[in-house]
Every structure is written in C-alpha cells, then in structure tokens.
C-alpha cells in the first residue's frame, strides 16, 4: 500500500520541513488541496458534512496554489510524488492546466498525479464566470483536452466548451500524467470508472464502510470495458492510521491512504510535533504494511 501524507491546512512556513521529513521517512508522496477563495457569505453546501458546513477550514486557512507549490516541493525532495486532492478541474481552462501540469511533471521526472474533482463551491465558479451547472460536462471535456495536449503531438479539439485548431504543446513528460477522480457521488464514481486512472475517496470511518463503494467502482469499470486497465484507489480513513484497519483496506482493493495532519494533531502544531507523529507512522505503519 502506498502511504500518502496530506499537507492540507499545514502552516505555509512549515510545508518545506514537512516535505523533507516525509521524503526522508519513506512516504510515497504528498497530497495538496485546492481552493481559490473563501467567501464571507457562502450559500453552497459542503457535500461531506451533515449540516453542509465545511468542518476543516476558516477564512484564515491558507490555500497555496497547487502547481507552483508542487514545483517548489519537487525541487527540494528526491522521490516524493505529488497529488492534488483534489484540483477543481472544470473551474479552469484545460489548456492552461495542461501547460502547468506538463511543465511541472517534465521538470520533476513525472512525480505528479492530477487528482481532479467537480467542485462544490458555486461561488468560486461565479467569480471566474464559469457555469456551475455544466461543470460535469466541462469536467469530461477537460480530461479529453488534457490527454490530447499531453501527447506532445499536433492535435485539435472541437467540443461544446473548448475549441482550438491543430496545435502542439511542449514540453510534455515522458509518461502520461495519471488522472484520479475524487468524490463518492454517483457521477464521480461513473467518471472514475470511465475516464480515471484512479479514484480518491473523501474518507470513510472504517474499511468495511468503503467496501461497497470499491465494489461499485469495479462493477462500473467492467461495464465500461476497463476492468483490465491499471487503476488505483486512495481511501482515507477517519482517525490516526492504524496497521490492522489499513491491512483490511488493502485487502479490499485500496492501494493508497492519506489524511491531513491537522485531523490528527489539531489545527496548529510545531514542526517537531509533526516529525514525531510522522516518524511514528513510518515506523509503526508504513514499515509493516
């Protein structure tokens, strides 16, 4: 099982230290979250809490821009991979996303996974003038555009939302950038099965709670004729990582795990507190999985 460490909500001045520590200790990679803005008046409902209120962030929560942060972290680490968890893909123009991701992936020898989600915060879409209602269709077309441009060949695209003549983008990485789809709605699971190289769950209380969803994705992949294609599932669990639940999760078909440090250590902690926790995870969980 690959062990990812989420650095969502980590104090910005500590992010480089945490990355170096994870690189030293044998973590597979780091997961980065994505939002543009925090709104004083938020009408959108957060889909993963009972009352629709985001439980994990406030107006003061930092959201570093994903691709510039990945580029900086890749430059100070030797083997860590980087995974956006999740990048709100239909909020952006895929041509610009293709350029940013292919540039970063080329410079860090492909240590990048694009974890993409449809988004839930309508207000962000409104600020950028993007239609929130059509984000699902835009999402699918964005993936098509990205994969065309990442080939590095002369390509064209004529779709509902994006249109361009024959063009070529360089540089592109030596290997295709994997796209993992985030979310556990029916639409997200279908998209992961049809178009994704993997799936990122928003989190489950136990491995057994994740089991029906993992089976559902596998059934959808079979329906889509993709059961033989490579596919990875990253499934966070509530609470601190423990060896036996993670073994059960692995046996159910998940091959990755990750959760924010703040969920375990609280909203603020020192670098040394983070190091102590991460060393415990490396010695007591990663080394024994």
248-272 confidence digits (pLDDT tens)? 999 999 987 878 898 899 989 999 9
Does 155 map to a domain?
no
Q: What is the pLDDT of residues 85-98, one digit of tens each?
A: 999 999 999 999 99
CA distances from 203 to 184, 196, 199, 224, 233 (A): 9, 18, 12, 25, 12
**3-class DSSP state of 157:** strand
Residue 151 lies in a domain: no
Q: Judge whether 153 lies within some domain.
A: no
**Among 253, 260, 254, 257, which residue's Cα sits nearest to residue 277?**
260
Percent of the chain with pLDDT over 70: 100
- The count of structural domains within the chain is 1
β-pair type (2-6, 29-32) = parallel
* pLDDT of 203: 86
pLDDT, residue 270, reads 98
**Residue 142 counted as domain residue:** no
Handedness of CA 8, 215, 136, 198 (dihedral sign): positive
Structural domain includes residue 210: yes
Residue 158 lies in a domain: no
224-243 pLDDT, tens digit per residue, is 999 989 999 999 988 889 99
- Please state the pTM of the whole predicted model: 0.95
Domain at 188, CATH number: 3.20.20.30
Domain of residue 13 covers: 2-132+174-288
Please report whether residue 48 resides in a domain.
yes
Give the SS3 label for residue 177.
coil
Report the sign of the C-alpha dihedral through residues 181, 255, 79, 7, in that order.
Answer: positive
Q: What is the mean pLDDT of residues 165-178?
A: 95
Band (59; pLDDT cuts 50, 70, 90): confident
Q: Is residue 280 predicted with pLDDT exceeding 90?
A: yes
Within a domain: residue 157?
A: no
Mean pLDDT, the chain, integer: 95
């Amino acid at each position: 099982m690959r062990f990812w460490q989420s650095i969502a909500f980590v104090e910005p001045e500590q992010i480089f230290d945490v990355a170096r520590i994870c690189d030293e200790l044998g973590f597979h990679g780091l997961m980065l979250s994505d939002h543009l803005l925090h709104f004083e008046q938020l009408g959108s409902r957060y889909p993963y809490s009972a009352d629709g209120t985001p439980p994990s962030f406030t107006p003061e929560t930092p959201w570093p821009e994903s691709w510039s942060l990945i580029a900086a972290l890749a430059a100070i680490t030797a083997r860590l991979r980087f995974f956006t968890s999740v990048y709100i893909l239909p909020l952006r123009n895929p041509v610009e996303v293709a350029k940013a991701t292919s540039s970063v992936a080329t410079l860090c020898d492909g240590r990048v996974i694009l974890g993409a989600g449809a988004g839930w915060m309508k207000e962000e879409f409104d600020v950028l003038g993007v239609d929130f209602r059509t984000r699902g269709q835009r999402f699918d077309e964005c993936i098509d555009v990205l994969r065309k441009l990442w080939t590095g060949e002369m390509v064209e695209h004529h779709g509902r939302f994006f249109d361009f003549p024959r063009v070529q983008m360089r540089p592109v990485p030596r290997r295709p950038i994997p796209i993992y789809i985030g979310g556990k709605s029916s639409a997200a699971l279908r998209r992961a099965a049809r178009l994704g190289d993997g799936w990122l769950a928003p989190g489950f209380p136990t491995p057994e709670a994740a089991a029906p969803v993992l089976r559902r994705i596998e059934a959808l992949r079979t329906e889509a004729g993709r059961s033989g294609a490579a596919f990875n599932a990253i499934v966070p669990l509530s609470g601190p990582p423990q060896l036996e639940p993670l073994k059960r999760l692995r046996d159910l078909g998940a091959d990755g795990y990750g959760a924010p440090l703040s969920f375990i250590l609280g909203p603020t902690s020192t670098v040394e507190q983070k190091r102590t926790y991460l060393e415990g995870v490396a010695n007591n969980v990663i080394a024994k999985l």
